[in-house]
Amino acid sequence: MEHIVIIGNGISGVTAARHIRKLSDKKITIISSETEHFFSRTALMYIYMGHMKFENTKPYEDSFWKKNRIKLKKALVKTIDSKNKQLVLDNDQLFAYDKLIIATGSKPNKFGWPGQDLDGVMGMYHKQDLENLEKYAPNNKVCKRAVIVGGGLIGIEFAEMMHSRNIPVTFLVRESSFWNGVLPDQESALINKEILDNHIDLRLGVNLKEIKADKNGRAKSIVIAETGEEIACDVVGLTAGVSPNINFVKESEIETNRGVIVNRFLETSVKDIYAIGDCAEQREAIGQRRPIEAVWYTGRMMGETVAQTICGNRIEYKPGHWFNSAKFMDVEYQTYGWVWAKPRENEARFYWEHKDGKKAIHLNFDKETHEFIGINTFGIRLRHEFFDRVLTEKKSVEYVLEYLADANFDPEFYKQYESEIVAQFNKEHGTAIKVQKKSWKRIFSKA
């Protein structure tokens, strides 16, 4: 019986295992050194914040794996011997496979800072990070201050976690404004304000120089490179992005760059070996997407795709239109299509922000044809089905605004802002768009 081995039990690897089982009777083993069972990684922050317990983050009962004949093995893979189709584990045990899926995810970036491996210094990606945080920052008596290094989505989650236990936070962001490599200036300023409104010490345009240790080898302070200022702290969160977790692959015959290089079928340079999720790098980027995407839903889609190929239905990975969502403290964020930090030559923008500074939308469209290109939204929930359809059908920005009520996913008792948004667009562009009432038929129409 063909043996499929999957390294990594995150969303990508587990999805692949589930779909291989749906499609076949192949022998399946998932190897992971992190946890016995799959859990929702995005829920780690909610465990710390007291909203969930770890057992609530496991999508499947522990009996699920035995029932579905998916073997779980807790071990660390040291190297891949592709010539002999076997793995070398941390205890030097050899583990054979017929087909191998690498799904090892990401690891926090470290840039050689002095003190980056001290006790009390951590990322926020693995279950072990959560355990470390409970050890070093259980409350504001043990942890007098946390310093977070890096202004991305994981950084803002780390800040919110500390804030939930009333632990003072200093946030070091090397950019001149929060996440302004991704967000346009208006939205970046909105998030700066949200961070400051939550009494977080936001330091923009600064870099970490070093982390200093106390006599017990534990972090006691950080030093800012530009000013030399030393800030006392008990925890340092390293959240300056992530990189593919593939060190164990680099000594093998498998081609790598930043990630494991794959083609559109998620096949590596070595026969019968595949890579999916955060650790996979497309040889040629798909459309405007980045070659590596550390995003939950793309990992799930890759798992479904590779399962088909392994089970005899070789299909390309097609992620569709870009979308993503996140939360900046109390402000929810969604994006559909493309709204770059700076508009491109053929693009025009429309920005609306509510007077409370917590709700905004930013539309991107072709300045000549007015074809809708993308939207960012803050504090207003929008419906994925609507934007997937209008992007596929290449609708105009005027169409999107006319039927904006169809896109709104907020409960009906929430205040609606479509009329205010459209009125501002009409005023700025000399149009006479009228907002149509919500139509469920239009929302879910495929035509």
Q: What is the mean pLDDT of residues 28-33?
A: 94
The amino acid sitting at 85 is K
Q: How far apart are CA 165 and CA 366, in angstroms?
A: 46
Q: What is the pLDDT of residue 447?
A: 45
pLDDT of 115 over the 80 cut: yes
* Mean pLDDT, range 32-52, rounded to an integer: 81
- Per DSSP, 408 falls in state B
How much is the pLDDT for 439?
72
pLDDT-derived band of residue 24, with 50, 70 and 90 as boundaries?
A: very high
Alpha carbons 376 and 188: distance in angstroms, whole number: 12
Spell out the domain ranges in the chain.
Answer: 3-107+243-310, 121-240, 323-443
Residue 34: per-residue pLDDT: 76
Helix (H) or strand (E) holding 24: none
Give the fold, CATH level 3, of 3-107+243-310.
Answer: FAD/NAD(P)-binding domain (3.50.50)
Cβ contacts of 376 within 8 Å, gap of 6 or more = 183, 184, 187, 333, 334, 335, 339, 360, 361, 362
Quick check: 365 and 347 in contact, CB under 8 A?
Answer: yes
Q: Give the chain's length.
A: 447
Whether the pLDDT of residue 446 is over 60: the answer is: no
* Rounded alpha-carbon distances, angstroms, from residue 128 to 41, 233, 247: 11, 21, 19
Q: Select 121-240's CATH number: 3.30.70.260, 3.40.50.150, 3.50.50.60, 3.40.50.970.
A: 3.50.50.60
What is the CB-side half-sphere exposure of residue 177 using CA atoms within 13 A? Answer: 16
| Degrees to nearest 5, angle at CA 127 with 195 and 154 | 25
pLDDT of residue 443: 66
127 pLDDT more than 90: no
Give the model's pLDDT for residue 263. Answer: 98
Q: Which residue has the higher pLDDT, 313 or 126?
A: 313
Can you tell me the distance from the alpha carbon of 377 to that of 245, in angstroms, rounded to the nearest whole number?
Answer: 32
From CA 90, how far away is CA 76, in angstroms rounded? Answer: 5
Cα torsion for 116, 107, 185, 161, to the nearest 10°? -70
What's the DSSP call for residue 437?
P
Identity of the amino acid at 319: P
Query: For position 412, what pLDDT does the model report?
Result: 72
pLDDT digits (tens, 9 = 90+) for 330-360: 999 999 999 999 999 999 999 999 999 999 9
4, 13, 7, 5: which is closest to 296 by C-alpha? 13
Whole-number pLDDT of residue 58: 76
Question: Mean pLDDT lowest for which of 77-81, 220-224, 234-238, 408-412?
Answer: 408-412
pLDDT grade, residue 128 (50/70/90)? confident
pLDDT in tens, 391-413: 999 999 999 999 999 999 887 77
Give yes or no for a contact between 10 and 54, defined as CB atoms under 8 angstroms apart. Answer: no
Q: Which residues pair with 107 in a beta bridge?
A: 243
Confidence at residue 125, expressed as pLDDT on a 0 to 100 scale: 81
The residues with which 375 forms a beta bridge, in sequence order, are 336, 363
Do domains 3-107+243-310 and 121-240 share one topology? The answer is yes
DSSP character for 435? P
CA dist 181 and 171 (Å) reads: 17
Rounded CA-CA distance 99/19 in Å is 15
Task: Please report which confidence band the pLDDT of residue 30 belongs to, taking 50, 70 and 90 as the band edges.
Answer: very high
Find the mean pLDDT for residues 382-386.
93
Fold of the CATH domain 323-443: Enolase-like; domain 1 (3.30.390)
User: How high is the pLDDT of residue 411?
Assistant: 77
Predicted confidence (pLDDT) per residue in 74-113, tens digit = 999 999 999 999 999 998 899 999 999 999 999 888 889 9
Distances (CA, A) of 34 to 41, 80, 284: 11, 19, 31
Three-state secondary structure string covering 200-228: CEEEECCCEEEEEECCCCEEEEEEECCCC
Question: By mean pLDDT, which of 324-338, 366-380, 411-425 is the weakest?
Answer: 411-425
For residue 237, the number of C-alpha atoms closer than 13 Å in the C-beta half-sphere is: 33
pLDDT, mean over the chain: 93
Model confidence pTM above 0.85: yes
Percent of the chain with pLDDT strictly greater than 90 = 82
Instruction: Measure the CA–CA gap between 300 and 10, rounded to whole angstroms.
Output: 9
pLDDT confidence of residue 444? 67
Place 141 in a pLDDT band, splitting at 50, 70 and 90.
very high
Please report which confidence band the pLDDT of residue 445 belongs to, taking 50, 70 and 90 as the band edges.
low
Q: What percentage of the chain has pLDDT greater than the value 70?
A: 98
Compute the chain's Rg from CA coordinates: 24
pLDDT tens, position by position, 274-316: 999 999 999 999 999 999 998 999 999 999 999 999 999 999 9
Contacts of 106 by beta carbon, 8 Å cutoff, 6+ apart: 125, 242, 243, 244, 245, 278, 279, 294
Rounded to whole angstroms, how far apart are CA atoms 8 and 150?
Answer: 26
Please measure the distance between the N-terminal and C-terminal CA atoms of the chain and give it in whole angstroms: 45
- Could you give the CA distance from residue 73 to residue 90 in angstroms, rounded to a whole number? 12
